[in-house]
């Protein structure tokens, strides 16, 4: 049966892209937050959009450095996702509070969150009106990594271990976990 859905809840229908962790660094300070509103925009060079609310510390650091890292956490990291998404790096050191390990890559300002299964280092393409009116940032990727237990040859594997699956935030702390991989036949 098709039932009416409150228009203001309709975004939840499309909200199942994997939750990302967004890390940024400026003047020696690293921070990380959760972001569900991350959307691919272009193939080559890869571009994505991410919504970073005006009051987030991560946004302040990313705007200062012009860079961020978007990364894909796993279902095993649910408490980290919820933790970094519920407090601000302005008030707490999230790295120690949530025991998050980070790694550095040459030429990348922001740290990479260990335990994630995909990472995209990206530069912000300045679009001041999009940022000020919509909190929307267009990012162009310049380096990417993936855990080979999850991606190989740039494809999602059929045999991703259950604990390494990505999660999709619906709302209010409810998530959908990636399930079976299916392949459509294309003639
Ligand atoms: C599952 C989840 C998804 C979130 N998605 C977004 C998002 O897409 N954009 C955003 O600005 N904040 C989002 N948040 C909220 C931020 O992560 C939160 O405001 C965080 O405390 C900001 O931290 P910061 O001030 O240290 O940068 C999300 C939080 C959670 C738990």
Distance of alpha carbon 44 from alpha carbon 41, whole angstroms: 10
Residue nearest to atom 23 of ligand 1 (CA): 88
Please report whether residue 182 resides in a domain.
no
pLDDT value for 140:
95
Please report whether residue 144 resides in a domain.
yes
Cα 86 to ligand 1 centroid, rounded to whole Å: 7
Please report whether residue 89 resides in a domain.
yes
Nearest-atom index, ligand 1, CA of 60 = 27
pLDDT digits (tens, 9 = 90+) for 120-149: 999 999 899 999 999 999 999 999 999 999
Please report whether residue 164 resides in a domain.
yes
Residue 4 pLDDT exceeds 90: no
Enumerate residues lining ligand 1, CB below 6 A. Answer: 19, 31, 33-37, 51-53, 56-58, 81-82, 85-90, 169
Tokens of 136: 């929307």
Nearest-atom index, ligand 1, CA of 50 = 8
Cα 34 to ligand 1 centroid, rounded to whole Å: 5
Nearest-atom index, ligand 1, CA of 82 = 31
Please report whether residue 5 resides in a domain.
no
pLDDT value for 123:
97
The pTM score is 0.96
Domain residues for the domain of 60 are 15-177
The domain total for the chain is 1
Distances (CA, A) of 47 to 29, 38, 39, 122, 128: 25, 11, 9, 8, 17
Please report whether residue 148 resides in a domain.
yes
Cα 107 to ligand 1 centroid, rounded to whole Å: 26
Please report whether residue 184 resides in a domain.
no
**Which CATH number fits the domain that encloses residue 125?**
2.30.110.10
Let me know: does 68 contact 62? Beta carbons within 8 Å. Answer: yes
Residue 164 pLDDT exceeds 80: yes
Helix%, strand%, coil% for the chain, nearest 5:
20, 35, 40
Closest CA to 160 of 37, 90, 40, 76: 76
pLDDT digits (tens, 9 = 90+) for 30-46: 999 999 999 999 999 99
25 band by pLDDT with thresholds 50, 70 and 90: very high
Residue 118 pLDDT exceeds 90: yes
Average pLDDT of the chain?
94
Phi, psi of 128, deg, nearest 5: -55, -35
Q: Best mutation site among 14, 16, 26, 36 for ligand 1, i.e. most ligand atoms within 8 A of its Cβ? A: 36
Please report whether residue 24 resides in a domain.
yes
Cα 11 to ligand 1 centroid, rounded to whole Å: 16
């Amino acid at each position: 049966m098709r039932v009416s859905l409150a228009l203001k809840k309709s975004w939840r229908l499309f909200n199942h892209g994997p939750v990302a962790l967004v890390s940024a660094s400026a003047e020696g300070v690293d921070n990380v937050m959760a972001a569900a509103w991350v959307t691919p925009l272009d193939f080559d060079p890869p571009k994505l959009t991410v919504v970073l609310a005006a009051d987030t510390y991560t946004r302040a650091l990313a705007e200062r450095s012009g860079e961020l890292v978007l990364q894909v956490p796993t279902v095993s990291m649910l408490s980290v996702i919820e933790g970094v998404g519920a407090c601000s790096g302005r008030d707490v050191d999230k790295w120690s509070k949530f025991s998050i390990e980070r790694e550095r890559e040459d030429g990348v300002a922001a740290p990479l969150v260990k335990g994630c299964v995909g990472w995209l280092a990206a530069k912000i393409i300045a679009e001041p009106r999009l940022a000020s009116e919509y909190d929307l940032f267009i990012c162009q990727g310049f380096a990417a990594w993936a855990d080979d237990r999850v991606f190989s040859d740039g494809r999602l594997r059929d045999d991703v271990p259950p604990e390494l699956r990505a999660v999709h935030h619906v709302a209010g702390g409810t998530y959908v976990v990636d399930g079976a991989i299916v392949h459509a036949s294309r003639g």
